[in-house]
Structure 1
């Protein structure tokens, strides 16, 4: 049976992924399906960070399924995700406030600027659209999105086109502020949840406050909420040092907020 409205199964920090790798309309995906009864006409699209179909992200996908939502994560990098070893370098740069540019954060072993150039919107978005088209043929009529870092860009794009019914972004990147925030307000009907933190050069405090100014206090009729997790850094909702109590609490809190948002609006 599906979970009751008040029941939330929490996020796990380690374990063995239980979903399956599938090709959907030619696109590699990781799919987790709830046990028992669940709404077959609804799918949560999990749009991952630059590390793609990695262990942490698989576990998150599984945990959304444990809460009653069939969840599909796309490998829109087509096997060319950022090496996970690069994460620690990036976070060290953020904590020390030495992040002059994304490219410098990974130097000399990995050039993130060159990597991003290999995965532009004109390549990534058609892959997402192919998966959505195939899922529609299977009877899916309602889509929600949860996007982490890189994936947050595409949550916004799908909301602009009103493809998605619900939007959740955690420490999003590649957004243009205020342009994308204002466009979302003007064109989207999808309730928006933002999971944010204090140390995030890609969606800094100024952008977070601007989002509140545009959407909050009931101004955005579909619904808006921004969660803020003190002591956390960019990437906390999908990966991070679980020995740090604040980061651990941030990851758990962001997941709980996401499930509550889905239960309210999907």
Structure 2
């Protein structure tokens, strides 16, 4: 929630979060329980595994085919990838296959139901993941988040967070404190025109992080909208390129900062 002392940088999720394409493919991972929370686990091949863990905080579609395939891609890049179901079995896609144009789907009610609970579920889940996967002290954690998941990446980059680096795309629900309190490196991957994260707010985020001497990068893609990094129309060559470039930037960002950690 925003306050006078903590203004909004990225607005709460809106109808733009429901736009985009549903991708096709066969998920390679599996769903297990960690601390009572459904978690998608994408495991890297032994030959490519880098020994590190990537925490994946999904958009409003939660544990869904687009996000499964993206987590599989992170695993193919060497990371044991864990995706949290902070919607507790109630993601958007279980209500409607076409939520943007479905008059029977009450998006605002669904959003309000999950705003607070996703915070508490996410916080507990991270502690349980750290207990299960970070015991020997050798494993390094990074975090990726899209839209709804962006602020959870930010909190894992705070002083008491567990991640060495984070990357977010087209954020929502993000206040100034989320970037002001970051201490680990962060990458922003955003659309030039996004009603939730407009140019003025992007500039403010850069200003805050510059003044705070944060380690950051912000890449801005033209001619795509909110959701491009997770729900791009792959039939459009430029959207496909933007999505793939955003993903590669996440991987490159993690590899650089993990090698420097």
TM-score after normalising by structure 2:
0.80
Aligned pairs for 1:1-266 within 5 A: 14-36=24-46, 38-40=49-51, 42-83=52-93, 85-86=97-98, 89=100, 108-121=103-116, 123-140=117-134, 141=137, 142-160=140-158, 161-176=160-175, 179-180=176-177, 184-185=179-180, 187-216=181-210, 219-266=211-258
| Structure 1 residue 135: Cα displacement | 2.5
* Unaligned segments of structure 2, at least 5 residues: 1-22
Distance 1:58 1:224, change over 3 A: same
Q: Matched residues in 1 for 2:75 and 2:25: separation?
A: 15
Aligned length: 228
Distance across 1 between alignment mates of 2:252 and 2:212: 19
Structure 2: distance between partners of 1:170 and 1:209 = 16
Q: Any gaps of 5 or more consecutive residues in structure 1?
A: 1-12, 90-105
Contact 2:54 2:80 in 1 (8 A): yes
TM-score (norm 1): 0.78
Q: For 1:108-150, what per-residue CA distance to the aligned partner results, in whole angstroms no more than 9, with x for missing partners?
A: 33222211111123x2233223332333233425321111000
SS in 2 for 1:147: strand
Query: Structure 2 CA distance, aligned partners of 1:71 and 1:85?
Result: 26
* Cα 1:139/1:242, change in 2 over 3 Å: closer
Is this contact kept in 2: 1:162–1:188, CA < 8 A? no
Is the Cα contact below 8 Å between 2:44 and 2:77 reproduced in 1?
yes
Q: Which structure has more RCO (C-alpha within 8 Å, separation ≥ 6)?
A: 2
Distance change in 2, residues 1:208/1:222 (3 Å): closer
1:201 is displaced (CA, Å) by: 1.1
The alignment's C-alpha RMSD in Å is 2.0
User: Are 1:144 and 1:164, in contact at CA under 8 Å, matched by a contact in 2?
Assistant: yes
